[in-house]
C-alpha cells in the first residue's frame, strides 16, 4: 500500500459532508471526535475530512499545522482502516497545541476504536 494521500481520498463533496454529519455515527476519543458513515455507493478508498475549530484556534497557522499533523498521522496509518466504502471526519476538539507523537498515538487508538465500531 502506498503511503500517499491523493485527492480521491479527501472528502470535499458538500452533499457527502452534510450527509456524514446528519446521518453518521460518532465517538469521542480525546482529542478527536470521529464521525463515520458507511456508504456503499462511494469510491473504493475511504474518504476523509480533517477539521479544527476556528473558535478554539483563532490563528489559521495553528489550525493548518494541526490539520497537517492529522493528515500525516492518517497517511502513515491508513492501512489500518479495515473498511472500504467509508466516509470519515476527524474533528480536533482539544484547546492545546499538540506534537506529532501525541497525535499519532491518539490517532492509532481512534482507528482501533473505529474498526471495533464497524465490526
pLDDT in tens, 30-71: 999 999 999 887 667 899 999 999 999 999 999 999 999 999
Residue 71 in grid coordinates: 493528515
What is the value of pTM for the model shown? 0.92
Phi/psi-derived region of residue 41, left when phi > 0, alpha when psi is between -120 and 50, beta in every other case? alpha
Please tell me what DSSP assigns to residue 17: H
Q: 84 pLDDT band (50/70/90 cuts)? A: confident
Average pLDDT on 81-93 reads 92
CATH class of the domain whose range is 7-118 = alpha beta
CA 119, 14, 74, 41 dihedral sign is positive
Quickly tell me which residue has 481512534 as its cell: 110
Amino acid at each position: 500500500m502506498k503511503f500517499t494521500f491523493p485527492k480521491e481520498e479527501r472528502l470535499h463533496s458538500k452533499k457527502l459532508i452534510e450527509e456524514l454529519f446528519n446521518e453518521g455515527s460518532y465517538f469521542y476519543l480525546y482529542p478527536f471526535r470521529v464521525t463515520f458513515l458507511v456508504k456503499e455507493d462511494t469510491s473504493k478508498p475511504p474518504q476523509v475530512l480533517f477539521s479544527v475549530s476556528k473558535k478554539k484556534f483563532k490563528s489559521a497557522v495553528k489550525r493548518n499545522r494541526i490539520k497537517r499533523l492529522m493528515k500525516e498521522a492518517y497517511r502513515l496509518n491508513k492501512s489500518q482502516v479495515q473498511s472500504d466504502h467509508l466516509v470519515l471526519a476527524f474533528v480536533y476538539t482539544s484547546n492545546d497545541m499538540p506534537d506529532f507523537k501525541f497525535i499519532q498515538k491518539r490517532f492509532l487508538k481512534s482507528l482501533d476504536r473505529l474498526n471495533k465500531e464497524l465490526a
